[in-house]
Amino acid sequence: MYSTKIAGVGKYVPERIVTNKELATMVDTSDEWITERTGIKQRHWFEPGKDTTSNMGVKAARKAMENANVTKDDIDFIVFATLSPDYIFPGCGVLAQKELGMDTIGALDIRNQCSGFIYGLSVADQFIKTGMYKNILLICSEVQSNTFDLSDEGRSMAVIFGDGAGALVLQRSEDDSKIINTKMHSQGEYAEELILAEPSTNHSKRIKDDILTDNGIWPYMNGRNVFRNAVVRMTEVINESLTAANMTKKELDLVIPHQANLRISQAVQKKFELEDDKIFNNIQNYGNTTAASIPIALCDALEQGKIKKGDVLCFCAFGSGFTWGSALIKW
Ligand code: UT7
């Protein structure tokens, strides 16, 4: 069996920065509240007519391919993770395949929200391990700012979420750099705790006549329940990865959690007694970019020189579904 390494990374965020102060002119909130409850100071918002989920993903993908020193013709397969696809169908994978001018390779869409990166990484890893593919492009991209309900009811989404994209080239490894393991979980009994319910197949017409006045058009989140479960499940799943690899928390060089809320990351840090330089957070600058948050954070951690060859990294995520997962990496 082969193993998989991360051969290249890239990110793209839209130009427009929305600070907490600017957001407070649109919703009833404040810089103090957002900073204290989430750690976020600013986020990026897409430019309608210029940025889309697929083309932001493509910009990140071009950088990842350049970073991996591969061309579009080396890529065997695309995996695209997003909760905010350009269209309900077809998915963003084929749009990226077209925009990148790639051959008629397969393109798979992943719908696992904040855990989309981990699920996508795990799927890609299996294809490379079996020898079916040598180079897979994993793209994670989100445009969330055009689904915010800026009323008091919807403000918890508006303050947290942001737009952005990250991409990885995954490649058959020739040395000991590898994905050690990946773990994935779900618990559908909480599907409605973090949901965008409309448009839906629950009615005779997918687009209901009252869609604009029915609250289902806005994403809904039971913030407290999501928060509690995120801390418990991310802790559990990191332990699961460590146990399966016969490793201990002392062997972790860097944990890169999904950037959901700085307080969630801090709770995970405390559970694993990690020193400050062993956990990476950049939610302050981007907000929660859902599937894109870990690949964007990985790019920033590499740019800041926080990762060196041989390091043991752990990615973990939790989100809508509920879904959660982890990946243990030897860099
Ligand atoms: O990526 C995975 C998915 N998402 C997450 O991981 C998010 C998980 N949840 C959270 O991060 C937190 O639950 C939130 C940041 C969303 C909310 O924080 P919270 O500490 O759970 O606040 P809360 O909703 O319990 O509200 C506390 C207070 C309330 O006021 P009172 O009743 O104490 O007077 C709210 O009305 O804060 C008020 N509030 C706000 N104030 C200013 C709620 N949202 C806001 C806001 N700005 N945006």
CATH code, domain carrying 116: 3.40.47.10
Least confident of 26-35, 182-191, 213-222, 248-257: 213-222
Q: Are residues 303 and 270 in the same domain?
A: yes
How far apart are the CA of 87 and the centre of ligand 1, in A? Answer: 30
Q: Are residues 8 and 157 in the same domain?
A: yes
Q: Please check whether residue 236 is in contact with residue 325, taking contact to mean a CB–CB distance below 8 angstroms.
A: no
How would residue 287 be classed by pLDDT, with cut points 50, 70 and 90?
Answer: very high
How far apart are the CA of 94 and the centre of ligand 1, in A? Answer: 37
- C-alpha to C-alpha distances, 13 to 9, 104, 170, 206, nearest whole angstrom: 14, 28, 21, 32
Question: Residue 84: is its pLDDT beyond 90?
Answer: yes
Counting residues of the chain whose pLDDT is more than 70, the rounded percentage is 100
Report the C-alpha dihedral over residues 141, 220, 158, 160, rounded to 10 degrees.
Answer: -70
How would residue 213 be classed by pLDDT, with cut points 50, 70 and 90?
Answer: confident
Q: Are residues 205 and 257 in the same domain?
A: yes
* Beta carbon of 268 within 6 Å of any ligand 1 atom: no
* Domain residue limits at 326: 179-330
* Beta carbon of 227 within 6 Å of any ligand 1 atom: yes
- Name the residue with the closest Cα to ligand 1, atom 8: 227
What pLDDT shows up at residue 21? Answer: 98
How far apart are the CA of 30 and the centre of ligand 1, in A? Answer: 12
- C-alpha to C-alpha distances, 277 to 205, 256, 292, 313, nearest whole angstrom: 52, 11, 22, 12
Q: Are residues 93 and 13 in the same domain?
A: yes
Q: Are residues 117 and 191 in the same domain?
A: no
Question: Residue 305: is its pLDDT beyond 80?
Answer: yes
Question: Residue 49: is its pLDDT beyond 90?
Answer: yes
What pLDDT shows up at residue 150? Answer: 86
Mean pLDDT of the chain: 97
Candidate list 20, 55, 67, 114, residue with the active-site label: 114
Residues written for the chain: 331
- Name the residue with the closest Cα to ligand 1, atom 14: 223
* Beta carbon of 114 within 6 Å of any ligand 1 atom: yes
Q: Distance between CA 202 and CA 208 in Å, rounded? A: 10
Closest CA to 286 of 257, 319, 259, 258: 259
Q: Are residues 188 and 72 in the same domain?
A: no
Q: Are residues 216 and 124 in the same domain?
A: no
* Beta carbon of 242 within 6 Å of any ligand 1 atom: no
Asked which of 156, 174, 192 is the last residue of a domain, the reply is 174
Counting residues of the chain whose pLDDT is more than 90, the rounded percentage is 93
Q: Are residues 154 and 94 in the same domain?
A: yes
Asked which of 174, 206, 237 is the last residue of a domain, the reply is 174
Q: Is 114 an annotated catalytic residue?
A: yes
- Overall domain count for the chain: 2
Ligand 1 atom showing the smallest separation from residue 155 Cα: 48
Asked which of 122, 143, 174 is the last residue of a domain, the reply is 174
- Name the residue with the closest Cα to ligand 1, atom 11: 261
Q: Distance between CA 255 and CA 110 in Å, rounded? A: 23
Q: Is 246 an annotated catalytic residue?
A: no
How far apart are the CA of 20 and the centre of ligand 1, in A? Answer: 15
Candidate list 67, 258, 282, 299, residue with the active-site label: 258
Q: Please check whether residue 320 is in contact with residue 114, taking contact to mean a CB–CB distance below 8 angstroms.
A: yes
* Beta carbon of 233 within 6 Å of any ligand 1 atom: no
User: What average pLDDT does the segment 85-112 reach?
Assistant: 98
How far apart are the CA of 224 and the centre of ligand 1, in A? Answer: 7
Q: Are residues 153 and 230 in the same domain?
A: no
* Beta carbon of 324 within 6 Å of any ligand 1 atom: no
Q: Strand 312-319 vs strand 254-257: parallel, antiparallel, or unpaired? A: parallel
Q: Are residues 158 and 193 in the same domain?
A: no
User: What average pLDDT does the segment 40-55 reach?
Assistant: 97
* Beta carbon of 155 within 6 Å of any ligand 1 atom: yes
